[in-house]
Structure 1
Amino acid sequence: MGVGVAGSATAKVTPPTANPHAIKTSPYVALGDSYSSAAGVAPFVATAPPTCSRSALNFAHDIAAMTKPSSFTDVTCSGARTSDFFSSQAPGVAPQLDAVTKDTRLVTMTIGGNDEGVFVNSFFGCATVSASDVTGNPCQQRYGTTFTDQITNQTYPHLVAALTAVRKKAPAATVVIVGYPRILPSTGVLSCYPSMPIAMGDVPWLAHEEDVLNDAVRRAASKTGARFIDMSASSLGHDACAPVGQRWIEPAVGPINAFPVHPNAMGEAAMAAQTLLQLGH
């Protein structure tokens, strides 16, 4: 694994178009939301604000364990939006961009899923209306293109602004934004309904919404010179409807060592592995 590690005193400028084997991994700063913090996955980082639910098994810690940077700073926080890069998310939680400096050489994150409340309002909101028509698509009928429109018209420019700000603070860094792993299978599975109470017809609709979000993340990365890590292929078959030991996302009902509808430790490890693989390490 040809990982170049350099301290802040000796780090060389590595533009995002450089040979991937030349990517410097130190100083390393981890930003992002609950998919980055590994919300609900014990053990937790004792020094982190409790509201952030920051796990010692999140994908940034996995990357750091493999690349051994001389400097590693993790400010990931559950519930973070792109706006929390710029302002305090909660008392005792500094703006995430405060952790990024001109010496930073690697930045990783997942971000965007909480913007406009799209994630909560769709995945958890749909669970409240699905019981009215388990085999139909009651959530799609209620919301139509509301969520995908919000992603395209609001989340996308927010992502561009956030990534641009990271690039401005750390112009020599490799800035990495990881796509969200598959939460649901492509079609409804009735046996999964008790643990993921989403109506069968709404499953492909929500899967499409996640595709739209990941495409917004990809386009924002392309526009700002960041690296997009695509999780769609590798996470196929590892969604919240997969059995224990195979799933990377825990279900809404009865999650094991993770917040509902969030990555477990296996999922975080897979995100780390894909990040290093797609960066060429």
Structure 2
Amino acid sequence: MRRFATVLVTACAAVSAVAVLGPSPVGAAASPLRYVALGDSYSAASGTLPPDPTAAPQCLRSTVNYPHVIAATIKATLTDVTCGGAETGDYFEAQYPGVAPQLDAVSARTQLITMTIGGNDSGVFIDSILQCGVLGTAALGQGSPCKDKYGSSFEDTITRTTYPALVRALQAVRAKAPHARVAILGYPWILPAKDGCFPQMPVAKGDVPYLRHEQATLNDAVRRAAARTGATYVDVSGVSNGHDACQAPGVRWVEPVVGGTNPVIVHPNALGESKLAARTITVLKLAKSAA
């Protein structure tokens, strides 16, 4: 009984200390944070050098993607399974032979999860930019041929199909890692609010606000899915404004179709990835390492 009493007193003292001190802030634990990065090419920084030698070649993952920048900044232990071209369905099934479903990397021990996902679902967002580019080139940058042809169909698909797919993916992430901080980033602006920069971005002048509004609809779907599932939405629309693909090198975060430095067109460069990392660290209040 005396031994039991001693153990009980020691345990109570430990509990009291925790109650007084409170939980440690994210990133301040003695051991490195267990961090898993999920998502598509905007998470993977597809096409941006240098490539990640641990990634499957098809994924075009870079070692300067925002997960790597975050992990280096806060000294986290990173498991990076981001992969170019990923859809929410690739969380559950293999995207390529030999590339496991992304959710396989997540466990109950995972403490931090980030992602950018949804833009490839139903072939809407990225494909719409390419399709509008073809029509814009044929129209020599004039008019609004993409809006005239497709109307609200792109945004309708985002609302009806992409949004529920995002909810399903985030719910599955939460089920596998119930105690993790989960963050999903919006997509940085690809086009300015008006005019554009034909032919660097071969979108007709009248289709620039059309595509910008479509991107806003996608980001809003991401935001709503995060709110519904208890994830944190990292809004990058404000910080990326003025850094679209029409801006000069060193200012733009996303590379254009013509005259860019990234062979994977209309994707973030190293500057963009570093800024996405910084925004995520700020929103999540992740502690930076003193080292």
Q: Which TM-score applies when normalising by structure 1?
A: 0.90
The residue correspondences of 1:164-175 to structure 2 (distance < 5 A) are: 164-175=171-182
1:132, 1:138 within 8 Å by CA — same for their partners in 2?
Answer: no
Say whether residues 1:23 and 2:29 are aligned partners. Answer: no
Question: What's the counterpart of residue 249 of structure 2?
Answer: 244
Question: What's the counterpart of residue 276 of structure 1?
Answer: 281
| Change beyond 3 A, Cα 1:239–1:21 | farther
Say whether residues 1:155 and 2:162 are aligned partners. Answer: yes
Counterpart of 1:234 in 2: which secondary structure?
Answer: helix
User: In structure 2, which of residues 58, 82, 85 is the aligned counterpart of residue 79 of structure 1?
Assistant: 85
Query: How far apart, in 2, do the equivalents of 1:177 and 1:227 lie?
Result: 6
Counterpart of 1:233 in 2: which secondary structure?
Answer: helix
User: In structure 1, which of residues 88, 106, 113 is the aligned counterpart of residue 112 of structure 2?
Assistant: 106
- AA at the equivalent of 1:61: H
Question: What's the counterpart of residue 3 of structure 1?
Answer: none
1:123, 1:206 within 8 Å by CA — same for their partners in 2?
Answer: yes
Counterpart of 2:182 in 1: which secondary structure?
Answer: strand
TM-aligned CA deviation for residue 258 of structure 1: 5.2
Counterpart of 2:68 in 1: which secondary structure?
Answer: helix
TM-aligned CA deviation for residue 26 of structure 1: 1.6
Q: Which runs of 5+ in 2 are unaligned?
A: 1-21, 287-291
Query: How far apart, in 1, do the equivalents of 2:70 and 2:85 lie?
Result: 22
The residue correspondences of 1:3-42 to structure 2 (distance < 5 A) are: 22-24=25-27, 26-42=33-49
| Change beyond 3 A, Cα 1:85–1:197 | same
Residue identity (%): 55
Counterpart of 2:227 in 1: which secondary structure?
Answer: helix
Query: How far apart, in 2, do the equivalents of 1:62 and 1:174 lie?
Result: 17
Say whether residues 1:230 and 2:235 are aligned partners. Answer: yes
Q: Which runs of 5+ in 1 are unaligned?
A: 1-18
TM-aligned CA deviation for residue 253 of structure 1: 1.5
1:58, 1:265 within 8 Å by CA — same for their partners in 2?
Answer: yes
TM-aligned CA deviation for residue 252 of structure 1: 1.1
User: In structure 2, which of residues 88, 101, 104 is the aligned counterpart of residue 95 of structure 1?
Assistant: 101
TM-aligned CA deviation for residue 20 of structure 1: 11
Question: What's the counterpart of residue 193 of structure 1?
Answer: 198
Query: How far apart, in 1, do the equivalents of 2:184 and 2:24 lie?
Result: 18
Query: How far apart, in 2, do the equivalents of 1:215 and 1:236 lie?
Result: 16
- Deviation per CA, 1:85-123: give whole Å up to 9, x if none: 000001111000000000000000000000000123310
Query: How far apart, in 2, do the equivalents of 1:60 and 1:177 lie?
Result: 12
Say whether residues 1:120 and 2:126 are aligned partners. Answer: yes
Counterpart of 1:206 in 2: which secondary structure?
Answer: helix
Query: What RMSD over aligned residues (CA atoms) do the two structures have, in Å?
Result: 1.5
Query: How far apart, in 2, do the equivalents of 1:169 and 1:258 lie?
Result: 35
| Change beyond 3 A, Cα 1:20–1:115 | farther
Counterpart of 2:184 in 1: which secondary structure?
Answer: strand
Question: What's the counterpart of residue 212 of structure 2?
Answer: 207
Query: How far apart, in 1, do the equivalents of 2:217 and 2:167 lie?
Result: 15
Larger Rg: 2
Q: Is the helix fraction higher in 1 or 2?
A: 2
